[in-house]
Amino acid sequence: MTINGGARRGGGSVAARKKSLTRSKWVGLLTLGLAPLVVMASPGVASAANNVCLQNSDGSQTDIAGNSSTPDKTRSVTTQSASNTWQDWTWRGPTFRCPTNVPSCSYAWQQSKTTSWKVSLGLSIKVPIPYVGKLFDELTPSYDRGGSTTTSYTFTTNLKPGQYAQPIQVVERRWTKGTYVGIYHSTGQSCLPSPSNPNGKAWRYNWSPNERFGSWTTNLRVNDYGTYNVYS
């Protein structure tokens, strides 16, 4: 994962108040992979839809992204995709050769094959601001997700005498770039902490729903199918 503080930050007076020192500190923390912060909306604290009381476990009041524990959630959006895809062969089956002294072969697969795949290939995330927990894992398409594919080879193909055939499982990927939308800006005003963490410090945040920040790139999985390669 790559973290970069160079991404665009939306304007606004609140954002402008943020000090570069604080940002640098957070970028450093992210790079070191420290324990995730915890943010929650303080219960019992009246807030306008655009002004909420949130609490970081370390009491900081830096800008944060919204996740499942906040009223509003940061989204990821795609901004650019490569025109071409590339193939990732996640499984190769045994090779069969049609004998040379028969007129034709018909090759049928009846195996079921489960292929595990990992989709975090080539991912990099550029985050200019602190994040909450593993928020960007959740937000970034296909980041660090695994899965499996089961393919049943009950299809046929004809082969010429002497040809080789090998079943494969293909995952097609496309290089994709995106950004995040929606950010909480701290107002600098303190508010009542959460009862579950009464000694912590809570701060009021304004939600900026359309503001874009950060960037991510990934080799996004766009297709998945079984097929075979033919060799002569």
Partner 1 sequence: MMVRRLLRAAAGSATVLAFGLLTACSATTHSTPSAADGTTAPTAGASPAGSMKTLPPSRLCTTALTTGAAQQLIADPRLQTRLSPNKGDAPDGCSYAAADGQSTLALTPASRAYKAELSAAHALSADPASAGMRDVRVDPVSDLGRQAFRETSYQIQARQHITFVVWNSGTRTWVLTFATTADTSATPATVSDDKVVQVARSITAKLPAGQ
Residues in 118-137 that interact with partner 1 by CB under 8 A: 119
Torsion, Cα of 95, 101, 107, 112 (10° steps) = -40
List binders of partner 1 among 83-122 (CB under 8 A).
87, 93-94, 96, 98-114, 119
Q: Considering only CA atoms, which of 130, 222, 132 is closest in space to residue 175?
A: 222
Is the CB of residue 141 less than 8 Å from the CB of residue 78? yes
Looking at residue 203, its amino acid is: W
Residue 166 CB, nearest approach to partner 1 (Å): 9
Instruction: Decide if residue 146 touches partner 1 (CB under 8 A).
Output: yes
Cβ-based nearer residue to partner 1, 17 or 118: 118
Residue 159 CB, nearest approach to partner 1 (Å): 7
- Cα atoms in the 13 Å half-sphere on the side-chain side of 52: 25
> Rounded to an integer, what distance in angstroms lies between the CA atom of residue 194 and that of residue 54?
8
Distance of CA 11 to the CA centre of its chain: 25
Cβ-based nearer residue to partner 1, 40 or 168: 168
Among 11, 147, 188, 209, binds partner 1 (CB under 8 A): 147
Cβ-based nearer residue to partner 1, 42 or 219: 219
List binders of partner 1 among 154-173 (CB under 8 A).
154-161, 163, 165, 167-168, 170
Reduced to 3 states (helix: H, G, I; strand: E, B; else coil), residue 67 is: coil
Cβ-based nearer residue to partner 1, 180 or 203: 180
Cβ-based nearer residue to partner 1, 60 or 179: 179
Reduced to 3 states (helix: H, G, I; strand: E, B; else coil), residue 74 is: coil
